[in-house]
Structure 1
Amino acid sequence: MYANSATAAFITAILSLERCLCIVVPLKVKKILTRRRLVVVTSTFVAYEIVFTGLLIGRTGPPYAQISALSAFYLIFSYSVISLVCFVIISLTTIFLIVRLNQNLSWRKRTSTAAAAGQATSNKEAKLHVVSS
């Protein structure tokens, strides 16, 4: 169960990072997120999970048989640390995404001839502006 939640948090963090990079640096995203780099990051995550899950089960016995200091240490580093790191990544990428989208919205408003003529912005932009305010 914990391994599934850690894996889900990791995948969500990768998707959030990719989405943020597509908005923040759209022309460089293919150079930053290459297939090889994503395979290396995913393989590292899988190895990390295998090592700590193996240590948890192999060195401390079946899960939940006894909670010792060693098993608590393995549980923290196998599940809690990953969830915390993924939460921080998702939070930061969301903040960068919101800031960049607001900058783009204000730039479009300044340069738009429709905004200069006093016409209303599009429905999506109006909703974005209301949500971000």
Structure 2
Amino acid sequence: MYDGTGIPPLSLTLTHVASVFSNAAMGYGSWITAIISVERCLCIVYPMKIKSIFTVRRVLLLLMIILCLQLCGVFPTYATMQLGYAKSPDTNKTTLVLTWTEYSLHVESTTLFATFTVPSLVCFTIVVICTTFLVIKLNQTAKWRKTTANTGSKQDGNISSKELRVARTVVFICTIYIFCFAPNIFTITVMAMLPNFHQTDPYLGNLTAVCFMIAYPLQSVSSAVNIFVYLRMSTKYRETFCRLFCAGKVKE
């Protein structure tokens, strides 16, 4: 990946810079998924109180606080970087490069831990627990409805049809998240347990690289497919999306 001058190309260093923000953005997405899954669980546990617990103002404030914390975690890394010119001793060619200070590696590791590793581990655990709870409740409701249908009872269930559709959508979203983030959680856990599990290690370097090659594309898939899932499974979301972006195609 070098151009023969002994200096890494600017495009490579800029890609590295962008990855810092990308990791923070994926960490923020993990928090959002966790909040949605918790909200759905509380809808089932406290159906009469959920609107007073998850108000629009509180959710918006929570999301803004998390966003600020994620961005604050990124700034120290960028503060240790600077653009400058470097001359290759072999070709005498001057190239614009990105340089780091002596504290950059430590700051970047701390940033990655705070904005990506911790959110990934915490949110993954929350989503797994909440998704398991939702699946159990959905199965119980399905069995209850089958029983009442056989007995001819017309009593309402604990969960309305609308709530069931929303819960199924959230379960599907969370399942995609769990599947796509599982390789990343595995990689993070192994790296914490085995210090040698690193790309620079002569024995485990190739295996580490393969794990990252699988984990990062799957994380991108998790972030990209949500909009299509909501368009397919949520009528209200689809109508709102068409009203905003396909106004000419919406029938009044």
Between the two proteins, the alignment pairs up a number of residues equal to 115
State the alpha-carbon separation in 2 of the partners of residues 43 and 29 from structure 1.
21
Alignment of 1:62-77 (within 5 A): 65=100, 68-77=105-114
Larger Rg: 2
The reply to whether residue 52 of structure 1 matches residue 89 of structure 2 is no
Question: TM-score under structure 2 normalisation?
Answer: 0.40
| Cα 1:64/1:8, change in 2 over 3 Å | farther
Could you say which residue in structure 1 is the equivalent of 2:116? Answer: 79
State the alpha-carbon separation in 2 of the partners of residues 44 and 89 from structure 1.
19
Q: When you count strand as a share of all residues, which structure comes out higher?
A: 2
How much is the aligned-residue C-alpha RMSD, in angstroms? 2.7
Could you say which residue in structure 1 is the equivalent of 2:61? Answer: 40
Q: When you count helix as a share of all residues, which structure comes out higher?
A: 1
2:150 aligned to 109, 115, 131, which one?
Answer: 115
Could you say which residue in structure 2 is the equivalent of 1:93? Answer: 130
1:52 and 1:78 in contact (8 A); partners too: yes
Give the superposition deviation at 1:65.
4.7
2:24 and 2:71 in contact (8 A); partners too: no
Matched residue type, 2:71: I
Runs of 4+ in 1 over 4 A off after TM superposition: 62-67
The reply to whether residue 2 of structure 1 matches residue 26 of structure 2 is no
Could you say which residue in structure 2 is the equivalent of 1:28? Answer: 49
Highest RCO, 1 vs 2 (Cα 8 Å, sep ≥ 6): 1
| Cα 1:55/1:102, change in 2 over 3 Å | same
| Cα 1:64/1:78, change in 2 over 3 Å | farther
Could you say which residue in structure 1 is the equivalent of 2:81? Answer: 61
Unaligned stretches of 5+ residues in structure 1 = 118-127, 129-133
Give the superposition deviation at 1:10.
2.1
Could you say which residue in structure 1 is the equivalent of 2:219? Answer: none
1:55 and 1:74 in contact (8 A); partners too: yes
Give the superposition deviation at 1:42.
0.9
Could you say which residue in structure 1 is the equivalent of 2:142? Answer: 105
State the alpha-carbon separation in 1 of the partners of residues 62 and 35 from structure 2.
10
